[in-house]
Structure 1
């Protein structure tokens, strides 16, 4: 119930609970450094230099503060409103749950000029007679003083071994997720240095320290992709509300009590020329990936602010309206709120549930953003105008797309009533069997027509290099004849309405020359599909053909030996050349193909188009880190920002073999 699962996700959640306790101290203004170590034996160590856990005897239980924190539910410093004004959660169960799910947990506290130590096995306090979780164990709840420290030295060190009787065998701690969380937290708590030390691979050191002074403005800048339309904007404000919560009375009973709460709202946002929205949200620096009342309030505030700003402008025509999705297009936002004892939907804290937060966040966002959108300042007015125009353009694109969907036969930018004349279609309508070859050039198209199997192979020629859609707007893409033809012929739609099941073909195959121009054309086609027909790539429907680079013609082939041998790379060519020479097989001067047009129909069919002999490379992208890396790569290599691309080329130049340059 408290950690969500017993797989990797649950294992990571235990680590977040311990790290978040240390971050809470930094958030409260104590301590500026946290260290996280992943040990080879599977244990996790989290150190901080904050105030240190309470070591005094807690009067109601008669137990030391350390034992109360690690063994009693709802007993954290955040519970009851004493130690923290804003923390990660209400429950106060994090440390005790991690302790209960650990085969061993050691804690050391520097406080009161001494180092205090205590160990636990599956939640039971005691003493181990050796290192590791398998050492002998004697129950004992004494908080031991192990050494003295200088006055003013305080902090907490926790090391725990997850209980492998509880967690699945294949559950492993993710160093990548830990680094991402550390980076994210360093943005949210400016000045906090978080060091991640992964020692699990023998002989390798992997230490990263994350610290950012710019806060969530720097975070929004880090997350934003594409060319910026606005600078990073900060929307800040605070308000108060009354909440009825159960509180412990003197008799130990839970009594409903009205409590005055303070809500602090801090939001950083930026619009870029992209189309995807990225909104990340946090409550007391705890990520809420599924949103909650604070995100609901943020989105409502956006809509109301834009409605007010557009009301006084002449951008919208009669009958037009701007909706939430139009405003979110190209937006990167970091939404953070701070309040005491937030209500989450479950201990995993993925959704904020405190109801009054939505109303207060909406009010603050509406007020702050309206001021920007209606500003007359010389630095803000052009940016505000650009954002309003972008939202209006998105609205019109949405309406046009809806009209297109409702009336498929009407001639639009993406689809006309008849397919292009240059399409050589196939006879089969079976999607699982049919293939569309997008062919470079008319000369290759002529040969491909003779080489194809017209039953299930269709051909669409393109002239030269299509538009780079990463730099272009949707309108420019729609005006481009080649791009419009491709989207129209594939038939799956584009953008958010792209549906692979509606595609007219089961496979889309790029067939271009095996040279640098051909590689550029394949890249431009991949950019078009990734940007506007990504579900086709995710469904594994997009491929590139692999035409041969060389052909050996044997002068006296032996019985059963092919007369022609094809190679598909330089290394394969040299291996085959050496092999034939060593075996004494005679052959004519090897032919180097410069393009598809040099092959006759039989050669093209045998090497590139016949499913029995050809090679295809599938273009794939997975959700998560792989998708983010792909987006970053397309933006770097094909986007508007030239500087990263220039740097990439300069770095790559040192690794290039000068002998390979055909000059």
Structure 2
């Protein structure tokens, strides 16, 4: 191993080094096999591996406090109050438990049973892989009244000479004859725990790889939900510019005693239709696993496993689905057998219940599908079991086959009991959910029929479209543009200003329905909302198909005043809630009409010119500059609405692609955007009032038209 030969002479590079580094060398050569990539995602995966080991201690009931610190020198430390890594000699290798954990792949306390009934670090490669990919790793263990310490350089145990401060650049002396687990102090009676600090190896990770602080915070919050009573502290000592810790240490503390019920409420973005329902149970299965025998050989053995199932679900008034799944405390973003079992039971239970209540709900002969049941569902599916089988080291998909049937049985039993409960609240909520599922089913069937018969309409074929739509002649979707304009006055000017070959106009009357507060039914009954959805022609909600949209660009063209901004916000709310893929595809724009028209008169050889400005500050700057140059100015014209422009002015400022300015509406963070929409446009008044009061001091009175 070239990187380690530099630490000692050729003669000192002994067989012991080869033995220790035999497995870790493979990790360094193929890091992607173990951590997925060597960019920021791989860097964070290493952090998760160590954090998961610390969290496993809390999961096993040993310790309730984990601290993660990002240090200014690029290192990361993770402290826990667990039992501490074993410090005694492991008989088969003759090494201490600490060295076995950090230098041997597929070795650890999670093999062979006993220590951990369920855990997040499950392949026995986490700590050793992180060690192999670190230029330095230090571990301290409090156990048996003593504090033990050991250090590694790129996986090789030895001692660093830290005369100044701990650093990967400190002089390193590898162990030759045998490793030493040093005793560096005394631990208080009854105090146990592990402290790990490591520096990621720049030889492995890409130069631009950086820790994702927001991702770390999200993961810490998520884990605190999954283990009620666990406190997780995240500290940032890096003092990076434009971060919360720029001026000094920034610390966030997470603890949630409500568990996954509280987690589900946190994840839900829409008003609740039901309470959070907890579905809990367990099941057993037999699994054949390879186990080390007394001679150190792998031998098959039948082991009886227990899988504990805990599910929290609630339905809301929206149609989006937010389902997160976990095995022990590890998120499985791509699902697996536990999610398959959940989906199977969910569909089976609702089909049975809707069949029983088919006459009351007017179900007919149609069958509900999984998407109908999942609409508006927010849920967390968790299972706990020892040694689950994952597809790959990154643990994104659970592969233990027996879990599917156990989860399915628990969910079917508990959900059926909830839907058939005689309690007043349960009966009311059960009725609401079943009505919602049937409505989603009918909406899906209707959308499918509409999609099958729908064709791109030309100007001669647009008899089924709203009469107020002024369509374009082109059938080229990529080129065509739909301008949604405010009022008939703007329509008249827009008709003369547009290029009718590829620009269509749809006028709306004033402020449309606030769809953040309204139900789906109310939205569809609203003439303006229904017209917009019909003209775009791609459906709405879950049935929206962006490929069916009749126009390549949808441009919101409203007046440059407060009312115009309000109308634009209402329109964006409609697109965000019911046509979000169009926004995500970058096909929704806001026109930027000018606020002022400044005209100069001809002077000598200097011709008169017209300048448009888009803010008060820009108008004052341009005016001052023209006056400084000695130009004669006519009285600047202030546009309070699009109707005040003539067709030529509207074309050259707002509609003609050669001159206009458009602002593309994007969704960089859908979750944050949804919270903002809910704050400004939702039915809950208190947070909006607080926002208005807090922002009042920042209001620019000059921007108010009065």
Give the C-alpha shift of residue 136 in structure 1: 1.3
Report the counterpart of residue 43 of structure 2 in structure 1: 11
State which of 328, 332, 355 in structure 1 corresponds to 2:378: 332
Distance 1:449 1:344 in 2: 61
State which of 485, 488, 513 in structure 1 corresponds to 2:534: 488
Distance of aligned partners of 1:149 and 1:647 in 2 relative to their CA distance in 1, 3 Å threshold: same
Distance of aligned partners of 1:54 and 1:40 in 2 relative to their CA distance in 1, 3 Å threshold: same
Distance 1:155 1:404 in 2: 63
Distance 1:176 1:557 in 2: 59
Give the C-alpha shift of residue 469 in structure 1: 2.2
Report the counterpart of residue 198 of structure 1 in structure 2: 236
State which of 171, 174, 178 in structure 1 corresponds to 2:216: 178
User: Are 2:529 and 1:472 equivalent residues in the alignment?
Assistant: no
Distance 1:386 1:497 in 2: 21
Report the counterpart of residue 651 of structure 2 in structure 1: 605
Conserved 8 A contact 1:404-1:410: no
Give the C-alpha shift of residue 579 in structure 1: 2.1
Give the C-alpha shift of residue 245 in structure 1: 1.2
Where does structure 1 lack aligned partners over 5 or more consecutive residues? Answer: none
Distance 2:340 2:62 in 1: 32
User: Are 2:95 and 1:95 equivalent residues in the alignment?
Assistant: no
User: Are 2:117 and 1:85 equivalent residues in the alignment?
Assistant: yes
- TM-score, normalised by the number of residues in structure 2: 0.90
Instruction: Find the residue that maps to 2:698 and give its secondary structure.
Output: coil
What do you get for the CA RMSD once the two structures are aligned?
A: 1.9
Conserved 8 A contact 1:227-1:641: no
Report the counterpart of residue 691 of structure 2 in structure 1: 648
Instruction: Find the residue that maps to 1:425 and give its secondary structure.
Output: coil
Distance 1:271 1:129 in 2: 59
Report the counterpart of residue 50 of structure 1 in structure 2: 82
Report the counterpart of residue 221 of structure 1 in structure 2: 265
User: Are 2:411 and 1:377 equivalent residues in the alignment?
Assistant: no
Q: Relative to structure 2, which stretch is displaced further, 418-427 or 252-261?
A: 418-427
User: Are 2:294 and 1:294 equivalent residues in the alignment?
Assistant: no
Report the counterpart of residue 504 of structure 1 in structure 2: 550
Q: Deviations over 1:458-513 (max 9, x none)?
A: 21111111222222233322222222222222233433443444333222111111
Match runs of 1:236-385 below 5 Å: 236-313=280-357, 314-385=360-431
Instruction: Find the residue that maps to 2:168 and give its secondary structure.
Output: coil
Report the counterpart of residue 665 of structure 2 in structure 1: 619
Report the counterpart of residue 142 of structure 2 in structure 1: 110
Where does structure 2 lack aligned partners over 5 or more consecutive residues? Answer: 1-32, 241-246
Distance 1:204 1:453 in 2: 57
Distance of aligned partners of 1:497 and 1:375 in 2 relative to their CA distance in 1, 3 Å threshold: closer
Distance 2:607 2:55 in 1: 70
Distance 2:198 2:121 in 1: 22
Instruction: Find the residue that maps to 2:631 and give its secondary structure.
Output: coil
Distance 1:442 1:662 in 2: 21
State which of 635, 660, 670 in structure 2 corresponds to 1:589: 635
User: Are 2:164 and 1:134 equivalent residues in the alignment?
Assistant: no
Conserved 8 A contact 1:191-1:211: yes
Give the C-alpha shift of residue 573 in structure 1: 1.6
State which of 665, 672, 682 in structure 2 corresponds to 1:629: 672
Q: Deviations over 1:51-104 (max 9, x none)?
A: 211111112221111001111122211111021111014321111111111111
Q: Size of the alignment, in residue pairs?
A: 657
Conserved 8 A contact 1:268-1:333: yes
Match runs of 1:62-77 below 5 Å: 62-77=94-109
Instruction: Find the residue that maps to 1:196 and give its secondary structure.
Output: strand
Report the counterpart of residue 160 of structure 1 in structure 2: 198
Give the C-alpha shift of residue 650 in structure 1: 2.0
Give the C-alpha shift of residue 147 in structure 1: 1.3
Give the C-alpha shift of residue 407 in structure 1: 2.2
Distance 1:529 1:272 in 2: 19
Instruction: Find the residue that maps to 2:361 and give its secondary structure.
Output: coil
Give the C-alpha shift of residue 346 in structure 1: 1.0
Instruction: Find the residue that maps to 1:208 and give its secondary structure.
Output: strand
Conserved 8 A contact 1:269-1:334: yes
- TM-score, normalised by the number of residues in structure 1: 0.95
